[in-house]
Amino acid sequence: MEKSRIHIPHIGMRIIKSAFGVLICFAIYFIRGKQGTPFYSALAVLWCIQNQTKNTVQNALQRTVGTGIGAAYGLIYILIKPRVPQLGDSFLHYCIISIALIPIIYTTVVIKQKKASYFSCVVFLSIVVNHLMDENPYMFVANRSLDTLIGIFVGLVLNSVSFHGEYDRDTLFIADVDRAMDGLSTGITPFSQIMIKNMLEKGMQLTFMTLRTPAGFLEGMPDIKPKLPIIAMDGAILYDTKENRYPKVYVISAEHACNIESFIRSRGFNIFTTIILEDVLIIYYDELKNTAEIDIYEKMHKSPYRNYLNKERPKDHPVVYIMCVDETRKIEQLEEDIKRSDIYEELKILSYPSDDYKGYSYIKIYSKNASVQNMTDYLKNMIDAKKVVTLSDNDRNKTDYCYTECDRIVRKLHHLFNFKRREKAYEQCKPAKAYR
């Protein structure tokens, strides 16, 4: 067991940009001769600085529209209020302000700018609550609007500016974060998710390799949508998460699969056989016998990404992989039997103890060609990448960089992507504890 470690997030670029943006707003306030109220500029810039720069211009436009709506309603109110002296600073005055928020928000809905409602309300309230009656109402509204627009503009610029070097969009980056997806180490932290999304948004050619099925990957990283196909099942398949299809699959021939199934069943094992039929992943299984099989089925068959069938596999269809889970001593004996038999030819066997079921182990049988390296070469040629860099939180695969924490992998990816250069030697690292 690895000792649990307290995860202390580092200061990210959003935090730095937020503080810098507020400083710029104060500087503009002094440049303007202390005209206006910098509080509203600071408020706007803090709202505009986002984790991701996607749709930055569109968001700025929505906030500008919101400023216009709020300013218009605010001007109308402060022009009408002096005509009703009874209002003054009474409770009725604040009741009317509160009710006025209804048509303001409704206006943003009608013009299909719902995201602008917050800024509309903020600008309106800043005008009608703080208005000094001896000021020119037009100038007052203009200053309040300008204060907010300054913050929006500063936020837009800072969100769009990169403080790094040239982006490396020519390299294929491949990350293995199976340990993190299984909740080991620090897991997939919010920091890692935000950084990965930002890099993908900026055009990074990033994908993932995993021992899991596509369903396992999608469940382990539900918020990450890589643009490139992922290398799943230890290199057996290439899965496109956007199109829900399999551009490349290494399979065991239908005839050979029949021989393997007969060999395993003759020794009393249940088999989970995975095939891909018209881009649909189907898992055929026999009668469930042990507690591990039953529990796995109960957990997995409810997933919308998996299709389990309790029937015999069509004999004319090739197989992606065959899996058994049973007592460790039985699995070890089965592996030895297979390796000594004629069916072992053209196969790759992966067996390992289960972390969830004590005393049980898995055995997975793939085509000999099913490897991360083969699939990496295929993907590299498919996207015409100039080179490949692989990183892992697991030492089962040969990678360029190996770390024990997902956040360290993400930081290294960020460094390699943002500071494009060919490093002379790979960083030396202590391999992670073997895990599958």
Task: Write the pLDDT tens digit of every residue in 302-348.
Answer: 887 789 999 989 899 999 999 999 999 999 999 999 999 999 988 99
Residue ranges of the chain assigned to CATH 3.30.1240.10: 254-367
The stretch 386-393 carries a mean pLDDT of: 89
Which fold would CATH assign to domain 254-367? 3.30.1240
Mean pLDDT lowest for which of 190-194, 225-229, 276-280? Answer: 190-194
Place of tokens 């990496």: 376
What SS3 state is found at 254? helix
Residue 433 is predicted with a pLDDT of 38
Confidence (pTM): 0.68
Confirm if 387 and 171 have CB atoms less than 8 A apart. Answer: yes
Band of pLDDT at residue 253, cut at 50, 70 and 90: very high
Residue 133 is predicted with a pLDDT of 59
Residue ranges of the chain assigned to CATH 3.40.50.1000: 171-249+372-418
Architecture of domain 171-249+372-418: 3-Layer(aba) Sandwich (3.40)
What SS3 state is found at 282? strand
pLDDT higher for 213 or 1? 213
For 54-93, give the DSSP string: TTHHHHHHHHHHHHHHHHHHHHHHHHHGGG-TTTTTSHHH
Residue 90 is predicted with a pLDDT of 85
Residue from 57, 72, 154, 138 nearest 111 by CA: 72
Is the pLDDT score of 3 beyond 80?
no
Residue 184 is predicted with a pLDDT of 62
Confirm if 283 and 308 have CB atoms less than 8 A apart. Answer: yes
Band of pLDDT at residue 404, cut at 50, 70 and 90: confident
Is the pLDDT score of 432 beyond 50?
no
